[in-house]
Structure 1
Amino acid sequence: MSENVVSKIGASPSDAVRSTAKKVWFITGAGRGMGTDIAKAALAAGDAVVATGRSPQKVAAAVGATDDLLTVKLDITSPADAKAAVEAAIERFGRIDVLINNAGNFYAGFFEELPPDHFRAQLETNLFGPLNVTRAVLPVMRARRSGLVVTLSSLAGVVGGEFTSAYAASKFALEGWMESLAPEVAPFGIRTMLVEPGYFRTELLEDTSTTWPVPRIDDYAERTRQTVVGWQGVNGKQGGDPAKLAKALVELARQDNPPPRWVAGADAVQAIEQKARTLLAQVEVYRGLSSNLAHDDA
Protein backbone atom coordinates (compact mmCIF):
# COMPACT_ATOMS: atom_id res chain seq x y z
CA MET A 1 0.00 0.00 0.00
CA SER A 2 1.38 3.41 -0.97
CA GLU A 3 2.68 5.86 1.67
CA ASN A 4 0.12 8.51 0.72
CA VAL A 5 -2.71 6.06 1.35
CA VAL A 6 -1.25 5.05 4.72
CA SER A 7 -0.95 8.72 5.66
CA LYS A 8 -4.62 9.24 4.86
CA ILE A 9 -5.52 6.30 7.12
CA GLY A 10 -3.63 7.96 9.94
CA ALA A 11 -5.32 11.33 9.48
CA SER A 12 -6.07 13.27 12.66
CA PRO A 13 -9.31 12.65 14.59
CA SER A 14 -10.48 16.11 13.57
CA ASP A 15 -10.65 15.01 9.93
CA ALA A 16 -14.21 15.45 8.59
CA VAL A 17 -14.60 11.81 7.56
CA ARG A 18 -13.16 10.49 10.82
CA SER A 19 -15.41 12.71 12.93
CA THR A 20 -18.64 11.39 11.48
CA ALA A 21 -20.53 8.51 13.09
CA LYS A 22 -20.97 6.86 9.71
CA LYS A 23 -19.45 3.48 9.03
CA VAL A 24 -17.70 2.87 5.73
CA TRP A 25 -18.59 -0.47 4.17
CA PHE A 26 -16.55 -2.26 1.50
CA ILE A 27 -18.75 -4.85 -0.23
CA THR A 28 -17.71 -7.36 -2.88
CA GLY A 29 -20.13 -8.72 -5.45
CA ALA A 30 -22.45 -5.74 -5.04
CA GLY A 31 -23.82 -5.79 -8.57
CA ARG A 32 -26.57 -8.29 -7.81
CA GLY A 33 -28.10 -10.55 -5.21
CA MET A 34 -27.11 -10.37 -1.57
CA GLY A 35 -24.36 -7.83 -2.24
CA THR A 36 -26.83 -5.33 -3.69
CA ASP A 37 -29.21 -5.78 -0.76
CA ILE A 38 -26.42 -5.31 1.79
CA ALA A 39 -25.24 -2.15 0.04
CA LYS A 40 -28.76 -0.71 0.00
CA ALA A 41 -29.32 -1.58 3.66
CA ALA A 42 -26.06 0.06 4.74
CA LEU A 43 -26.88 3.21 2.76
CA ALA A 44 -30.40 3.29 4.21
CA ALA A 45 -28.84 3.16 7.68
CA GLY A 46 -26.89 6.32 6.89
CA ASP A 47 -23.54 4.70 6.22
CA ALA A 48 -21.15 5.09 3.29
CA VAL A 49 -20.56 2.20 0.90
CA VAL A 50 -17.79 1.16 -1.45
CA ALA A 51 -19.67 -1.23 -3.72
CA THR A 52 -17.48 -3.38 -5.93
CA GLY A 53 -17.95 -5.76 -8.81
CA ARG A 54 -16.51 -6.77 -12.15
CA SER A 55 -18.63 -4.04 -13.79
CA PRO A 56 -18.87 -0.76 -11.83
CA GLN A 57 -21.62 0.38 -14.19
CA LYS A 58 -23.72 -2.66 -13.32
CA VAL A 59 -23.07 -2.08 -9.61
CA ALA A 60 -24.13 1.58 -9.86
CA ALA A 61 -27.31 0.64 -11.72
CA ALA A 62 -28.19 -2.02 -9.14
CA VAL A 63 -27.52 0.02 -6.01
CA GLY A 64 -28.60 3.47 -7.19
CA ALA A 65 -26.76 6.77 -7.18
CA THR A 66 -26.05 8.60 -3.91
CA ASP A 67 -23.29 10.81 -2.52
CA ASP A 68 -22.38 8.13 0.01
CA LEU A 69 -21.71 5.49 -2.66
CA LEU A 70 -18.47 4.74 -4.49
CA THR A 71 -18.52 2.02 -7.14
CA VAL A 72 -15.22 0.37 -7.97
CA LYS A 73 -14.11 -2.37 -10.35
CA LEU A 74 -13.00 -5.49 -8.52
CA ASP A 75 -12.38 -9.01 -9.72
CA ILE A 76 -11.76 -10.70 -6.38
CA THR A 77 -9.48 -13.30 -7.98
CA SER A 78 -7.02 -10.49 -8.80
CA PRO A 79 -4.79 -9.27 -5.92
CA ALA A 80 -3.94 -6.19 -8.00
CA ASP A 81 -7.64 -5.36 -8.37
CA ALA A 82 -8.13 -5.79 -4.62
CA LYS A 83 -5.27 -3.44 -3.80
CA ALA A 84 -6.46 -0.81 -6.28
CA ALA A 85 -10.06 -0.99 -5.01
CA VAL A 86 -8.95 -0.53 -1.40
CA GLU A 87 -6.80 2.44 -2.35
CA ALA A 88 -9.77 3.99 -4.15
CA ALA A 89 -11.88 3.50 -1.02
CA ILE A 90 -9.28 5.24 1.14
CA GLU A 91 -8.94 8.11 -1.31
CA ARG A 92 -12.69 8.69 -1.14
CA PHE A 93 -13.65 7.92 2.47
CA GLY A 94 -10.39 7.71 4.41
CA ARG A 95 -11.08 4.36 6.03
CA ILE A 96 -12.89 1.02 5.85
CA ASP A 97 -14.92 -0.01 8.91
CA VAL A 98 -16.74 -3.08 7.61
CA LEU A 99 -15.56 -5.50 4.94
CA ILE A 100 -18.22 -7.76 3.43
CA ASN A 101 -16.74 -10.73 1.56
CA ASN A 102 -19.84 -11.58 -0.43
CA ALA A 103 -18.85 -12.30 -4.04
CA GLY A 104 -18.97 -15.96 -5.05
CA ASN A 105 -20.31 -18.54 -7.47
CA PHE A 106 -21.34 -22.18 -7.59
CA TYR A 107 -19.90 -25.11 -9.54
CA ALA A 108 -22.53 -27.81 -9.15
CA GLY A 109 -22.06 -31.52 -9.69
CA PHE A 110 -21.07 -34.87 -8.28
CA PHE A 111 -17.38 -34.98 -7.42
CA GLU A 112 -16.36 -37.60 -10.00
CA GLU A 113 -18.07 -35.63 -12.76
CA LEU A 114 -16.52 -32.29 -11.87
CA PRO A 115 -13.50 -31.49 -14.05
CA PRO A 116 -10.45 -30.66 -11.91
CA ASP A 117 -10.28 -27.16 -13.38
CA HIS A 118 -13.86 -26.50 -12.24
CA PHE A 119 -13.02 -27.58 -8.69
CA ARG A 120 -9.96 -25.31 -8.68
CA ALA A 121 -11.97 -22.44 -10.15
CA GLN A 122 -14.52 -22.83 -7.34
CA LEU A 123 -11.78 -22.46 -4.73
CA GLU A 124 -10.17 -19.61 -6.64
CA THR A 125 -13.34 -17.52 -6.39
CA ASN A 126 -14.98 -18.58 -3.14
CA LEU A 127 -11.83 -19.05 -1.04
CA PHE A 128 -8.87 -17.23 -2.56
CA GLY A 129 -11.06 -14.29 -3.62
CA PRO A 130 -11.96 -13.35 -0.02
CA LEU A 131 -8.35 -13.98 0.98
CA ASN A 132 -7.15 -11.50 -1.66
CA VAL A 133 -9.58 -8.80 -0.58
CA THR A 134 -9.07 -9.29 3.15
CA ARG A 135 -5.30 -9.21 2.73
CA ALA A 136 -5.69 -5.81 1.05
CA VAL A 137 -8.07 -4.43 3.70
CA LEU A 138 -6.38 -5.61 6.90
CA PRO A 139 -3.54 -3.02 6.81
CA VAL A 140 -6.20 -0.28 6.70
CA MET A 141 -8.00 -1.70 9.71
CA ARG A 142 -4.79 -2.37 11.63
CA ALA A 143 -3.69 1.24 11.14
CA ARG A 144 -6.88 2.42 12.85
CA ARG A 145 -6.98 -0.46 15.38
CA SER A 146 -10.59 -1.00 14.39
CA GLY A 147 -12.71 -2.92 11.89
CA LEU A 148 -15.05 -5.79 11.19
CA VAL A 149 -14.37 -8.52 8.61
CA VAL A 150 -17.58 -10.28 7.56
CA THR A 151 -17.43 -13.30 5.30
CA LEU A 152 -20.50 -14.84 3.69
CA SER A 153 -20.13 -18.56 4.19
CA SER A 154 -23.17 -20.81 3.80
CA LEU A 155 -25.15 -23.58 5.39
CA ALA A 156 -22.97 -25.62 3.00
CA GLY A 157 -19.96 -24.44 5.00
CA VAL A 158 -21.21 -26.44 7.98
CA VAL A 159 -23.29 -29.23 6.42
CA GLY A 160 -22.05 -30.90 3.25
CA GLY A 161 -24.33 -32.55 0.74
CA GLU A 162 -24.29 -34.38 -2.55
CA PHE A 163 -23.88 -32.33 -5.71
CA THR A 164 -22.12 -29.56 -3.74
CA SER A 165 -18.68 -31.03 -3.10
CA ALA A 166 -16.70 -28.17 -4.68
CA TYR A 167 -18.93 -25.45 -3.25
CA ALA A 168 -18.98 -27.01 0.22
CA ALA A 169 -15.21 -27.47 0.14
CA SER A 170 -14.77 -23.76 -0.57
CA LYS A 171 -17.17 -22.75 2.20
CA PHE A 172 -15.76 -25.21 4.77
CA ALA A 173 -12.34 -23.70 3.99
CA LEU A 174 -13.70 -20.21 4.63
CA GLU A 175 -14.96 -21.35 8.01
CA GLY A 176 -11.56 -22.65 9.07
CA TRP A 177 -9.76 -19.59 7.76
CA MET A 178 -12.06 -17.13 9.53
CA GLU A 179 -11.99 -19.03 12.84
CA SER A 180 -8.20 -18.93 12.69
CA LEU A 181 -8.03 -15.31 11.55
CA ALA A 182 -10.19 -14.08 14.44
CA PRO A 183 -7.60 -14.47 17.24
CA GLU A 184 -4.81 -13.23 14.96
CA VAL A 185 -6.41 -9.83 14.37
CA ALA A 186 -8.26 -9.40 17.68
CA PRO A 187 -5.24 -7.67 19.34
CA PHE A 188 -5.59 -4.90 16.73
CA GLY A 189 -9.23 -4.19 17.55
CA ILE A 190 -10.45 -6.09 14.46
CA ARG A 191 -13.40 -8.44 14.80
CA THR A 192 -14.65 -11.12 12.44
CA MET A 193 -18.07 -12.58 11.63
CA LEU A 194 -19.06 -15.63 9.64
CA VAL A 195 -22.53 -15.50 8.09
CA GLU A 196 -24.10 -18.88 7.31
CA PRO A 197 -27.24 -18.38 5.21
CA GLY A 198 -29.64 -21.14 4.32
CA TYR A 199 -31.72 -20.92 1.14
CA PHE A 200 -32.31 -17.30 0.16
CA ARG A 201 -33.95 -15.99 -3.00
CA THR A 202 -30.81 -14.71 -4.71
CA GLU A 203 -29.33 -15.26 -8.16
CA LEU A 204 -26.98 -18.04 -7.00
CA LEU A 205 -28.88 -20.76 -8.88
CA GLU A 206 -29.19 -18.75 -12.08
CA ASP A 207 -26.95 -19.58 -15.01
CA THR A 208 -24.93 -16.39 -14.48
CA SER A 209 -23.76 -17.69 -11.07
CA THR A 210 -23.98 -21.47 -11.35
CA THR A 211 -21.98 -23.71 -13.67
CA TRP A 212 -24.16 -26.76 -14.24
CA PRO A 213 -22.45 -30.10 -14.87
CA VAL A 214 -22.51 -32.05 -18.10
CA PRO A 215 -23.16 -35.78 -17.53
CA ARG A 216 -19.84 -37.57 -18.14
CA ILE A 217 -20.17 -40.89 -16.29
CA ASP A 218 -23.03 -43.26 -17.01
CA ASP A 219 -23.48 -44.22 -13.35
CA TYR A 220 -24.21 -40.58 -12.46
CA ALA A 221 -25.86 -39.39 -15.66
CA GLU A 222 -29.54 -39.79 -14.75
CA ARG A 223 -29.04 -38.51 -11.19
CA THR A 224 -27.19 -35.51 -12.60
CA ARG A 225 -30.00 -34.66 -15.01
CA GLN A 226 -32.66 -35.07 -12.31
CA THR A 227 -30.71 -33.04 -9.77
CA VAL A 228 -30.12 -30.17 -12.18
CA VAL A 229 -33.83 -30.02 -13.01
CA GLY A 230 -34.72 -30.12 -9.33
CA TRP A 231 -32.32 -27.35 -8.37
CA GLN A 232 -33.34 -25.15 -11.27
CA GLY A 233 -36.92 -25.61 -10.13
CA VAL A 234 -36.01 -24.24 -6.70
CA ASN A 235 -34.58 -21.04 -8.19
CA GLY A 236 -36.79 -18.07 -7.36
CA LYS A 237 -38.74 -20.03 -4.77
CA GLN A 238 -36.25 -20.06 -1.89
CA GLY A 239 -37.85 -19.07 1.40
CA GLY A 240 -35.26 -16.59 2.65
CA ASP A 241 -35.62 -12.85 1.94
CA PRO A 242 -32.17 -11.36 1.20
CA ALA A 243 -33.38 -7.83 1.99
CA LYS A 244 -34.26 -8.95 5.53
CA LEU A 245 -30.91 -10.65 5.90
CA ALA A 246 -29.16 -7.48 4.77
CA LYS A 247 -31.03 -5.30 7.25
CA ALA A 248 -30.28 -7.72 10.10
CA LEU A 249 -26.61 -7.83 9.11
CA VAL A 250 -26.37 -4.04 9.27
CA GLU A 251 -27.85 -4.14 12.78
CA LEU A 252 -25.34 -6.80 13.87
CA ALA A 253 -22.42 -4.88 12.41
CA ARG A 254 -23.38 -1.85 14.53
CA GLN A 255 -23.07 -3.82 17.77
CA ASP A 256 -20.02 -3.29 19.96
CA ASN A 257 -19.54 -7.05 20.05
CA PRO A 258 -20.92 -8.55 16.84
CA PRO A 259 -21.28 -12.34 16.89
CA PRO A 260 -18.32 -14.32 15.50
CA ARG A 261 -20.85 -16.57 13.73
CA TRP A 262 -24.39 -15.78 12.61
CA VAL A 263 -26.66 -18.53 11.31
CA ALA A 264 -29.14 -16.88 8.94
CA GLY A 265 -32.52 -18.44 8.20
CA ALA A 266 -34.76 -20.89 10.03
CA ASP A 267 -33.70 -23.70 7.69
CA ALA A 268 -30.03 -23.07 8.49
CA VAL A 269 -30.73 -22.98 12.22
CA GLN A 270 -32.51 -26.33 12.05
CA ALA A 271 -29.86 -28.00 9.89
CA ILE A 272 -26.90 -26.74 11.93
CA GLU A 273 -28.54 -27.75 15.19
CA GLN A 274 -28.97 -31.24 13.75
CA LYS A 275 -25.33 -31.29 12.60
CA ALA A 276 -24.21 -30.32 16.13
CA ARG A 277 -26.29 -33.12 17.65
CA THR A 278 -24.89 -35.59 15.12
CA LEU A 279 -21.30 -34.59 15.88
CA LEU A 280 -21.84 -34.97 19.61
CA ALA A 281 -23.46 -38.37 19.09
CA GLN A 282 -20.55 -39.53 16.91
CA VAL A 283 -18.08 -38.45 19.59
CA GLU A 284 -20.03 -40.29 22.27
CA VAL A 285 -20.18 -43.61 20.40
CA TYR A 286 -16.40 -44.03 20.49
CA ARG A 287 -15.61 -41.91 23.54
CA GLY A 288 -13.80 -44.76 25.31
CA LEU A 289 -11.71 -45.76 22.31
CA SER A 290 -10.90 -42.16 21.43
CA SER A 291 -9.91 -41.25 25.00
CA ASN A 292 -7.44 -44.10 25.49
CA LEU A 293 -4.83 -43.43 22.83
CA ALA A 294 -2.14 -41.71 24.92
CA HIS A 295 1.32 -43.11 25.56
CA ASP A 296 1.34 -45.37 28.62
CA ASP A 297 3.85 -43.06 30.30
CA ALA A 298 1.72 -39.96 29.76
Structure 2
Amino acid sequence: MSTKKVWFVTGASQGLGLTLVQELLKAGYRVAATSRKAAALREAVPASEHFLPLEVDLTNEESVKQAIRETVSHFGSMDVVVNNAGYGQLGAVEELTDEEVRRSFDVNVFGLLHVLRHAMPHLRARQSGHIFNIASVAGYSGNFPGWSTYIATKFAVVGLSEALAEEAAPFGIRVSVVMPGYFRTNFLASGSLAQPAHALDVYANVRESSAAHTEQINGNQPGDPVKAAAVLMAQAEAPKQVVHLFLGEDAYARAATQMKTVTTDMAEVATMATATAF
Protein backbone atom coordinates (compact mmCIF):
# COMPACT_ATOMS: atom_id res chain seq x y z
CA MET A 1 0.00 0.00 0.00
CA SER A 2 1.23 3.49 -0.84
CA THR A 3 2.36 5.63 2.07
CA LYS A 4 2.08 8.79 0.01
CA LYS A 5 -0.33 11.47 1.21
CA VAL A 6 -3.94 11.49 0.10
CA TRP A 7 -5.00 14.68 -1.69
CA PHE A 8 -8.59 15.90 -2.09
CA VAL A 9 -8.88 18.39 -4.98
CA THR A 10 -12.04 20.21 -6.04
CA GLY A 11 -12.69 21.62 -9.51
CA ALA A 12 -10.28 19.11 -11.04
CA SER A 13 -11.62 18.48 -14.54
CA GLN A 14 -9.82 21.45 -16.10
CA GLY A 15 -7.38 24.27 -15.46
CA LEU A 16 -4.95 24.30 -12.56
CA GLY A 17 -6.96 21.63 -10.74
CA LEU A 18 -6.53 19.14 -13.57
CA THR A 19 -2.82 19.87 -13.92
CA LEU A 20 -2.35 19.42 -10.19
CA VAL A 21 -4.14 16.05 -10.22
CA GLN A 22 -2.05 14.84 -13.14
CA GLU A 23 1.21 15.89 -11.50
CA LEU A 24 0.22 14.37 -8.16
CA LEU A 25 -0.54 11.01 -9.76
CA LYS A 26 2.77 11.09 -11.65
CA ALA A 27 4.51 11.60 -8.31
CA GLY A 28 2.72 8.60 -6.77
CA TYR A 29 0.26 10.41 -4.55
CA ARG A 30 -3.29 9.16 -4.02
CA VAL A 31 -5.87 11.62 -5.26
CA ALA A 32 -9.61 12.11 -4.85
CA ALA A 33 -10.80 14.68 -7.35
CA THR A 34 -14.18 16.34 -7.73
CA SER A 35 -16.07 17.85 -10.64
CA ARG A 36 -19.68 18.62 -11.44
CA LYS A 37 -19.47 15.71 -13.88
CA ALA A 38 -17.39 12.65 -12.98
CA ALA A 39 -17.29 11.69 -16.66
CA ALA A 40 -15.17 14.76 -17.37
CA LEU A 41 -12.62 13.55 -14.81
CA ARG A 42 -12.55 10.04 -16.26
CA GLU A 43 -11.97 11.45 -19.72
CA ALA A 44 -9.15 13.71 -18.56
CA VAL A 45 -7.34 11.34 -16.18
CA PRO A 46 -6.51 7.65 -16.85
CA ALA A 47 -8.04 5.14 -14.46
CA SER A 48 -5.75 4.18 -11.58
CA GLU A 49 -5.97 2.59 -8.16
CA HIS A 50 -4.54 5.85 -6.86
CA PHE A 51 -7.28 7.98 -8.43
CA LEU A 52 -10.85 8.44 -7.18
CA PRO A 53 -13.07 10.62 -9.42
CA LEU A 54 -16.09 12.05 -7.63
CA GLU A 55 -19.14 13.85 -8.98
CA VAL A 56 -19.89 16.64 -6.54
CA ASP A 57 -22.15 19.65 -6.40
CA LEU A 58 -20.22 22.02 -4.16
CA THR A 59 -23.31 24.10 -3.51
CA ASN A 60 -24.95 21.04 -1.95
CA GLU A 61 -23.46 20.39 1.48
CA GLU A 62 -24.67 16.79 1.59
CA SER A 63 -22.94 16.11 -1.73
CA VAL A 64 -19.68 17.49 -0.35
CA LYS A 65 -20.04 15.53 2.88
CA GLN A 66 -20.57 12.31 0.94
CA ALA A 67 -17.49 12.94 -1.23
CA ILE A 68 -15.26 13.40 1.79
CA ARG A 69 -16.74 10.31 3.40
CA GLU A 70 -16.01 8.30 0.22
CA THR A 71 -12.45 9.61 0.08
CA VAL A 72 -11.64 8.57 3.64
CA SER A 73 -13.36 5.23 3.16
CA HIS A 74 -11.56 4.50 -0.11
CA PHE A 75 -8.04 5.58 0.84
CA GLY A 76 -8.22 5.27 4.62
CA SER A 77 -7.20 8.89 5.19
CA MET A 78 -7.15 12.41 3.80
CA ASP A 79 -4.07 14.57 4.26
CA VAL A 80 -4.19 17.54 1.88
CA VAL A 81 -7.29 19.47 0.84
CA VAL A 82 -7.21 21.79 -2.18
CA ASN A 83 -10.21 24.08 -2.58
CA ASN A 84 -9.67 24.90 -6.23
CA ALA A 85 -13.18 25.00 -7.73
CA GLY A 86 -14.54 28.36 -8.78
CA TYR A 87 -15.52 30.57 -11.66
CA GLY A 88 -15.35 34.20 -12.69
CA GLN A 89 -18.46 36.36 -12.92
CA LEU A 90 -17.86 39.35 -15.15
CA GLY A 91 -19.85 42.57 -15.03
CA ALA A 92 -19.94 45.99 -13.37
CA VAL A 93 -21.58 46.16 -9.95
CA GLU A 94 -24.84 47.67 -11.21
CA GLU A 95 -25.07 45.24 -14.14
CA LEU A 96 -25.20 42.10 -12.04
CA THR A 97 -28.40 40.67 -10.67
CA ASP A 98 -28.70 39.45 -7.12
CA GLU A 99 -28.96 35.92 -8.49
CA GLU A 100 -25.69 36.23 -10.42
CA VAL A 101 -23.81 37.58 -7.41
CA ARG A 102 -25.19 34.99 -5.02
CA ARG A 103 -24.40 32.15 -7.41
CA SER A 104 -20.78 33.29 -7.51
CA PHE A 105 -20.56 33.35 -3.72
CA ASP A 106 -22.35 29.99 -3.49
CA VAL A 107 -19.61 28.32 -5.54
CA ASN A 108 -16.49 30.33 -4.70
CA VAL A 109 -17.11 30.87 -0.98
CA PHE A 110 -19.90 28.72 0.42
CA GLY A 111 -18.83 25.69 -1.63
CA LEU A 112 -15.35 26.08 -0.15
CA LEU A 113 -16.86 26.38 3.32
CA HIS A 114 -18.79 23.14 2.80
CA VAL A 115 -15.51 21.36 2.10
CA LEU A 116 -13.76 22.90 5.10
CA ARG A 117 -16.63 22.15 7.45
CA HIS A 118 -16.52 18.42 6.66
CA ALA A 119 -12.77 18.04 6.08
CA MET A 120 -11.70 19.64 9.35
CA PRO A 121 -12.98 16.86 11.67
CA HIS A 122 -10.89 14.27 9.79
CA LEU A 123 -7.75 16.42 9.81
CA ARG A 124 -8.28 17.42 13.43
CA ALA A 125 -8.64 13.78 14.47
CA ARG A 126 -5.31 13.02 12.80
CA GLN A 127 -3.69 16.14 14.28
CA SER A 128 -2.16 16.89 10.91
CA GLY A 129 -2.94 18.02 7.40
CA HIS A 130 -2.62 20.90 4.98
CA ILE A 131 -5.38 22.99 3.41
CA PHE A 132 -4.77 25.02 0.27
CA ASN A 133 -7.53 27.52 -0.50
CA ILE A 134 -7.05 28.78 -4.06
CA ALA A 135 -7.90 32.47 -4.20
CA SER A 136 -6.23 34.87 -6.65
CA VAL A 137 -3.91 37.84 -6.53
CA ALA A 138 -7.20 39.64 -7.26
CA GLY A 139 -8.13 38.70 -3.70
CA TYR A 140 -5.31 40.96 -2.52
CA SER A 141 -5.28 43.67 -5.18
CA GLY A 142 -8.75 44.33 -6.52
CA ASN A 143 -8.39 47.06 -9.14
CA PHE A 144 -9.82 45.10 -12.08
CA PRO A 145 -12.94 46.80 -13.57
CA GLY A 146 -15.71 44.34 -14.29
CA TRP A 147 -14.48 41.69 -11.88
CA SER A 148 -16.00 43.07 -8.66
CA THR A 149 -18.01 39.99 -7.70
CA TYR A 150 -15.16 37.57 -8.48
CA ILE A 151 -12.77 39.80 -6.54
CA ALA A 152 -15.15 39.99 -3.59
CA THR A 153 -15.33 36.20 -3.40
CA LYS A 154 -11.54 35.92 -3.50
CA PHE A 155 -11.09 38.58 -0.81
CA ALA A 156 -13.50 36.51 1.28
CA VAL A 157 -11.40 33.40 0.72
CA VAL A 158 -8.23 35.24 1.76
CA GLY A 159 -9.76 36.53 5.00
CA LEU A 160 -11.40 33.22 5.79
CA SER A 161 -8.10 31.41 5.25
CA GLU A 162 -6.18 33.75 7.53
CA ALA A 163 -8.65 33.13 10.36
CA LEU A 164 -8.76 29.39 9.68
CA ALA A 165 -4.97 29.22 9.85
CA GLU A 166 -5.15 30.47 13.43
CA GLU A 167 -8.03 28.17 14.37
CA ALA A 168 -6.41 25.06 12.88
CA ALA A 169 -2.81 25.58 14.01
CA PRO A 170 -3.27 24.08 17.52
CA PHE A 171 -4.36 20.83 15.86
CA GLY A 172 -1.30 20.53 13.64
CA ILE A 173 -3.22 21.60 10.53
CA ARG A 174 -1.58 24.08 8.19
CA VAL A 175 -3.56 26.47 6.01
CA SER A 176 -2.29 28.32 2.96
CA VAL A 177 -4.23 30.78 0.83
CA VAL A 178 -2.88 30.61 -2.70
CA MET A 179 -2.94 33.81 -4.75
CA PRO A 180 -1.92 33.06 -8.33
CA GLY A 181 -1.36 35.55 -11.09
CA TYR A 182 -2.14 34.58 -14.68
CA PHE A 183 -1.46 30.93 -15.49
CA ARG A 184 -1.87 29.43 -18.93
CA THR A 185 -4.97 27.32 -18.41
CA ASN A 186 -8.37 27.42 -20.11
CA PHE A 187 -9.94 29.52 -17.33
CA LEU A 188 -10.35 32.57 -19.59
CA ALA A 189 -11.70 30.56 -22.52
CA SER A 190 -14.08 28.10 -20.92
CA GLY A 191 -17.32 27.90 -18.99
CA SER A 192 -15.36 29.23 -16.01
CA LEU A 193 -16.28 32.76 -17.07
CA ALA A 194 -19.84 34.08 -16.91
CA GLN A 195 -20.95 37.24 -18.70
CA PRO A 196 -23.62 39.50 -17.16
CA ALA A 197 -27.13 38.83 -18.37
CA HIS A 198 -27.84 42.56 -18.69
CA ALA A 199 -24.69 44.41 -19.76
CA LEU A 200 -24.86 48.23 -19.92
CA ASP A 201 -23.22 50.13 -22.77
CA VAL A 202 -21.96 52.90 -20.46
CA TYR A 203 -19.17 50.77 -18.98
CA ALA A 204 -16.50 50.99 -21.67
CA ASN A 205 -13.73 50.16 -19.17
CA VAL A 206 -15.54 46.96 -18.17
CA ARG A 207 -15.96 45.89 -21.79
CA GLU A 208 -12.29 46.67 -22.47
CA SER A 209 -11.19 44.63 -19.45
CA SER A 210 -13.36 41.70 -20.49
CA ALA A 211 -12.06 41.78 -24.08
CA ALA A 212 -8.45 42.08 -22.92
CA HIS A 213 -8.78 38.99 -20.75
CA THR A 214 -10.51 36.81 -23.32
CA GLU A 215 -8.78 38.03 -26.49
CA GLN A 216 -5.30 39.17 -25.45
CA ILE A 217 -4.31 37.68 -22.10
CA ASN A 218 -5.92 34.30 -22.84
CA GLY A 219 -3.31 32.01 -24.35
CA ASN A 220 -0.49 34.37 -23.37
CA GLN A 221 -0.57 34.00 -19.60
CA PRO A 222 3.01 33.94 -18.27
CA GLY A 223 2.50 31.22 -15.65
CA ASP A 224 3.15 27.52 -16.24
CA PRO A 225 0.50 25.46 -14.38
CA VAL A 226 2.87 22.48 -14.11
CA LYS A 227 5.31 24.64 -12.16
CA ALA A 228 2.45 25.96 -10.01
CA ALA A 229 1.51 22.37 -9.17
CA ALA A 230 5.12 21.68 -8.23
CA VAL A 231 5.06 24.59 -5.76
CA LEU A 232 1.92 23.26 -4.06
CA MET A 233 3.39 19.78 -3.82
CA ALA A 234 6.62 21.16 -2.34
CA GLN A 235 4.74 23.30 0.17
CA ALA A 236 2.67 20.34 1.31
CA GLU A 237 5.91 18.59 2.28
CA ALA A 238 7.73 21.65 3.64
CA PRO A 239 8.37 21.88 7.39
CA LYS A 240 7.50 25.60 7.63
CA GLN A 241 3.98 26.95 7.22
CA VAL A 242 3.39 29.68 4.65
CA VAL A 243 -0.07 31.19 5.03
CA HIS A 244 0.16 33.63 2.10
CA LEU A 245 1.35 31.88 -1.04
CA PHE A 246 1.61 34.18 -4.05
CA LEU A 247 2.28 32.36 -7.32
CA GLY A 248 3.95 33.94 -10.32
CA GLU A 249 6.16 36.95 -10.98
CA ASP A 250 3.08 38.94 -11.97
CA ALA A 251 1.38 38.11 -8.67
CA TYR A 252 4.46 39.24 -6.75
CA ALA A 253 4.62 42.50 -8.74
CA ARG A 254 0.92 43.25 -8.24
CA ALA A 255 1.12 42.46 -4.53
CA ALA A 256 4.12 44.78 -4.13
CA THR A 257 2.26 47.58 -5.91
CA GLN A 258 -0.77 47.08 -3.66
CA MET A 259 1.38 47.23 -0.53
CA LYS A 260 2.92 50.50 -1.74
CA THR A 261 -0.52 51.95 -2.56
CA VAL A 262 -1.90 51.10 0.88
CA THR A 263 1.17 52.52 2.61
CA THR A 264 0.85 55.74 0.60
CA ASP A 265 -2.85 56.06 1.41
CA MET A 266 -2.18 55.52 5.11
CA ALA A 267 0.58 58.15 5.19
CA GLU A 268 -1.62 60.68 3.36
CA VAL A 269 -4.20 60.82 6.17
CA ALA A 270 -2.18 59.44 9.09
CA THR A 271 -2.30 62.55 11.30
CA MET A 272 -6.07 63.01 10.98
CA ALA A 273 -6.99 59.32 10.91
CA THR A 274 -5.02 58.42 14.04
CA ALA A 275 -6.31 61.39 16.08
CA THR A 276 -9.58 59.67 16.84
CA ALA A 277 -9.13 58.52 20.43
CA PHE A 278 -11.17 59.96 23.32
Provide the TM-score with structure 2 as the length reference. Answer: 0.95
Among residues 113, 130, 139, which one is paired with 2:121 in the alignment?
139
Q: Tell me the distance in 1 between the aligned counterparts of 2:208 and 2:145.
A: 13
* Residues 135-144 or 209-218, more deviating: 209-218
Q: Secondary structure at the match of 2:130?
A: strand
Tell me, in whole angstroms, the C-alpha distance in 2 between the residues paired with 1:216 and 1:139: 43
Alpha-carbon distance in 2 for matches of 1:273, 1:224: 24
Task: For 1:285 and 1:226, locate their aligned partners in 2 and report how far apart those are by CA, in whole Å.
Answer: 31
2:224 counterpart (224, 227, 241): 241
Alignment-mate amino acid for residue 135 of structure 2: S
Q: CA deviation at 1:60?
A: 2.1
Provide structure 1 residue ranges, at least 5 long, that are not aligned to the other structure. 1-15
Name the counterpart of 1:179: 162
Aligned length: 276
Residue 167 of structure 1 aligns with an amino acid whose one-letter code is Y
Structure 2: which 5+ residue stretches go unaligned?
A: none
User: Which residue type is aligned with residue 287 of structure 1?
Assistant: A
Q: Which runs of structure 2 are paired with 1:14-29 in the superposition (5 Å)?
A: 21-29=3-11
Deviation at 1:291, TM superposition (A): 2.2
Structure 2 counterpart of 1:13: none
Query: Alignment partner of 1:51: what SS?
Result: strand
**How do residues 34-113 of structure 1 correspond to structure 2 at under 5 angstroms?**
34-113=16-95
- State whether residues 215 and 224 of structure 1, in contact with CA within 8 Å, keep that contact through their aligned partners in structure 2: no
Give the C-alpha shift of residue 230 in structure 1.
Answer: 2.5
Code of the residue aligned with 2:151 in structure 1: it is: A
The answer on whether the counterparts of 2:141 and 2:258 sit within 8 Å (CA) in structure 1 is yes
Does the aligned pair in 1 maintain the 2:72–2:78 contact within 8 Å? yes
Letter of the structure 1 residue corresponding to residue 196 of structure 2: P
Contact 1:215 1:225 in 2 (8 A): no
What amino acid is the match of 1:97? D
Q: Structure 2 counterpart of 1:52, which letter?
A: T
Kept in 1, the 8 Å contact 2:32–2:52? The answer is: yes
Q: C-alpha root-mean-square deviation of aligned residues, in Å?
A: 1.5
Q: Which has the larger radius of gyration?
A: 1
Name the counterpart of 1:118: 100
Cα deviation code 1:16-49 (max 9, x no counterpart): 6xxx531100000111111111111212222110
Three-state SS of the structure 1 residue aligned to 2:184 is coil
- What amino acid maps onto 1:178 in structure 2? S
Alignment-derived partner of residue 4 in structure 1: none
Report Cα offsets for 1:152-205 as digits up to 9, x if no partner: 000110111211000000000001111111111111111100110001112221
Structure 1 residues 291 and 28, CA, compared in 2 at 3 Å: closer, same or farther?
A: same
Q: Is contact 2:82–2:134 with CA below 8 Å preserved after alignment?
A: yes
Structure 1 position 150, deviation (Å): 0.5
> What residue number does 1:275 align with?
258
In structure 2, the residue corresponding to 1:219 is in which secondary structure?
coil
Percent of residue pairs identical: 36
